[in-house]
Amino acid sequence: MRKRSPLERVRLLGKAGLDVLAALGRSTLFLLRALFGRGSFDNSLTLLCKQLYSVGVLSLAIVVVSGIFIGMVLALQGYSILATYGSEQAVGQMVALTLLRELGPVVTALLFAGRAGSALAAEIGNMKSTEQLSSLEMIGVDPLKYIVAPRLWAGFISLPLLTLIFNVVGIWGGAMVAVSWLGVYEGSFWGNMQNSVDFSTDVLNGIIKSLVFALVVTWIAVFQGYDCEPTSEGISRATTRTVVYASLAVLGLDFILTALMFGDF
């Protein structure tokens, strides 16, 4: 029913741009306050452990299962390609390098955004809509320190660990397919892997990536939850946005990080 003049449209476009900038500013302040703001609790460790459980441990199943299958698929695909060049004994290093450098950090972060990120956003959004955050404030407890900070730290700690687990399980899955099923010689599978994987360029860079992803994904999730409109639609929008923004951020950042780490310039 409502009609918009061209000028009104330009105005709306400008407003949308300003809103994005304002949200970026708000979310940065939010992050800094939650991490470095004054005040702590006697039971901070208990709060952190609770979150480590719900953010980390509960994501374990999906990470382990995906890890096994991705490792198996990598070995299967790698074998069929490498076999045409007669170098199927290199399948070990291929699986390991792919997982450590790229798939491990990226896929784990995407799974984490879907499993833990959406849960965090929905949980905090729900606390907001039921006025639990307001009532914490009125009790004199800063929800940024009590609710947000332990979740942020739990995310930072969990995701790199989950990535390591994903890598290990993936390599194990690859070995299962390559060695036990396709009959690659076990000595060359593991030996080639040992020779070609370098701790600092491969393992460490993968961990650095997953630390960056952990920061970004958890930050997006808790901010979306905290900043959402306190209604059921607001919460569902926040959950969707968390997964979309976090996934895009992970993929975009992965390219930048890879260029910085492995690009020769």
Partner 1 sequence: MSAANNHDTAVELKGVTFQRGERSIFNNVDIVIPRGKVTAIMGPSGCGKTTLLRLIAAQLMPARGEVWVAGKNLPSLSRSDLFDMRKQMGVLFQSGALFTDLDVFENVAFPLRVHTKLPEEMIRDIVLMKLQAVGLRGAVELMPDELSGGMKRRVALARAIALDPQILLYDEPFAGQDPIAMGVLVRLIRLLNDALGITSIVVSHDLAETASIADYIYVIGEGQVLGQGTPAQLRESDNPRIRQFMTGTADGPVPFHYPAQAYAEDLLGDSNA
Q: Which residues bind partner 1 (CB under 8 A)?
A: 38-39, 41, 130-132, 134-135, 137-142
Report in angstroms how near the CB of residue 33 gets to partner 1 at its nearest.
Answer: 9
Task: State which residue, 95 or 122, has the beta carbon closest to partner 1.
Answer: 122
Distance of alpha carbon 47 from alpha carbon 45, whole angstroms: 5
Task: State which residue, 102 or 137, has the beta carbon closest to partner 1.
Answer: 137
Report in angstroms how near the CB of residue 232 gets to partner 1 at its nearest.
Answer: 13
Quote the tokens at residue 209.
Answer: 């990536």
208's CB contacts (< 8 A; 6+ apart) are: 257, 261
Report in angstroms how near the CB of residue 233 gets to partner 1 at its nearest.
Answer: 17
Report in angstroms how near the CB of residue 22 gets to partner 1 at its nearest.
Answer: 13
Nearest to 152 by CA among 33, 24, 23: 33
Task: State which residue, 110 or 120, has the beta carbon closest to partner 1.
Answer: 120
Task: State which residue, 7 or 139, has the beta carbon closest to partner 1.
Answer: 139
Distance of alpha carbon 97 from alpha carbon 105, whole angstroms: 12
Question: CA–CA distance from 39 to each of 36, 146, 210 (Å)?
Answer: 9, 9, 29
User: DSSP labels for 61-75?
Assistant: HHHHHHHHHHHHHHH
Report in angstroms how near the CB of residue 140 gets to partner 1 at its nearest.
Answer: 5
Residue 57 is classified by DSSP as G
Report in angstroms how near the CB of residue 183 gets to partner 1 at its nearest.
Answer: 52
Task: State which residue, 50 or 237, has the beta carbon closest to partner 1.
Answer: 50
Q: Identify whether the C-beta of residue 167 lies closer than 8 Å to the C-beta of residue 84.
A: no
User: DSSP labels for 219-252?
Assistant: HHHHHHHHHS-SSHHHHHHHHHHHHHHHHHHHHH
Please tell me the number of Cα atoms within 13 Å of 75 on its side-chain side. 28
Task: State which residue, 141 or 182, has the beta carbon closest to partner 1.
Answer: 141
